[in-house]
């Protein structure tokens, strides 16, 4: 009887299970890191720190531009302040002490007043849990010239 030719033996291939779409592997345990105390952590200086606010204002358009220009006019008429960029926003100061600031947010302009003065706010338009307060402006109609000028003057006189 003739011997049947032997069939080659197939080696099993490693089968990797497929992952469902969007599956993320579980996070790996964090290795113990040596962390520095917060007091010694150093941050780089902002490139815009101390810059003129003109560049900030030039980058605005539409209602935010009109509101911010009106705020600059109001603040500068109310007190002898200097202006510069700090924390990425225009800040107005007297003798290096912040009086007020404004920042363009997505849906409004935040106008803030530094702590240090009692502010008359019968309509409760100012927000904030501490002494520093802020308000939200969505149009130039929200700017109450008389009241806001009084607030800026009050904070300025507390810091001069």
Domain count of the fold of the chain:
1
- What CATH number should be reported for the domain holding residue 92? 3.90.1150.200
Reported as a pLDDT band with limits 50, 70 and 90, residue 108 is: very high
Mean pLDDT on 100-119: 92
Reported as a pLDDT band with limits 50, 70 and 90, residue 38 is: low
Question: Per the domain annotation, does 10 fall within a domain?
Answer: no
* pLDDT score for 16: 61
Question: Per the domain annotation, does 5 fall within a domain?
Answer: no
Q: What is this structure's pTM? A: 0.69
Residues 11, 23: Cα–Cα separation, whole Å: 31
Residue 83: domain span: 54-159
Phi-psi category of residue 92: left, alpha or beta, with phi > 0 → left and psi -120 to 50 → alpha: beta
Question: Per the domain annotation, does 78 fall within a domain?
Answer: yes
* DSSP category for residue 47: T
Q: Give the residue among 146, 137, 142 at the shortest CA–CA distance from 103.
A: 137
State how far the alpha carbon of 81 is from the alpha carbons of 43, 68, 74, 97, 113, in Å: 28, 16, 11, 10, 13
């Amino acid at each position: 009887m003739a011997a049947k030719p032997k069939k080659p033996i197939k080696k099993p291939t490693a089968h990797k299970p497929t992952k469902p779409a969007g599956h993320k592997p579980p996070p790996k345990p964090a290795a113990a890191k040596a962390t520095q105390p917060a007091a010694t952590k150093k941050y780089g200086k902002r490139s815009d720190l101390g810059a003129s606010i003109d560049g900030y204002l030039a980058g605005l358009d539409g209602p935010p531009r009109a509101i911010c220009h009106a705020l600059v006019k109001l603040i500068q008429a109310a007190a002898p302040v200097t202006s510069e960029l700090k924390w990425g926003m225009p800040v107005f100061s007297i003798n290096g002490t912040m009086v007020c600031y404004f920042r363009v947010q997505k849906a409004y302009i935040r106008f803030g007043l530094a702590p240090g003065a009692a502010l008359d706010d019968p309509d409760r338009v100012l927000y904030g849990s501490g002494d520093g307060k802020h308000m939200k402006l969505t149009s130039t109609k929200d700017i109450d010239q008389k009241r806001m000028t009084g607030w800026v003057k009050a904070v300025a006189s507390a810091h001069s």
